[in-house]
Amino acid sequence: MNNGSSEVAIMPEPQPKPGDDLQAAIDTAIAACDGDPRAAIRALIVANSFLHKRVERLTDLVSPGFARGKLSFVDLP
């Protein structure tokens, strides 16, 4: 029944399933390594190691430097 107003039914967008983003990231990582899952794992381990070392380095800088106000964001590498 239409009373002269133009009502549009708004349908909610389908919500992505939990894990869809993870699956997409996995597919992207494997595709970046020409479809070789072992190469993708190797690359992710190397990247994780790099990031872990970076966090350790920044943690060492932050603890004494920022706590005493001797460092600023400008001093960070």
pLDDT per residue over 50-65, tens digit each?
Answer: 999 998 888 877 766 5
Read off the tokens for 40.
């993708």
C-alpha 35: how far from chain center: 21
pLDDT per residue over 22-53, tens digit each?
Answer: 999 999 999 999 999 999 999 999 999 999 99
HSE (side-chain half, CA atoms, 13 Å) at 72: 1
| Cut 0.75: pTM above it | no
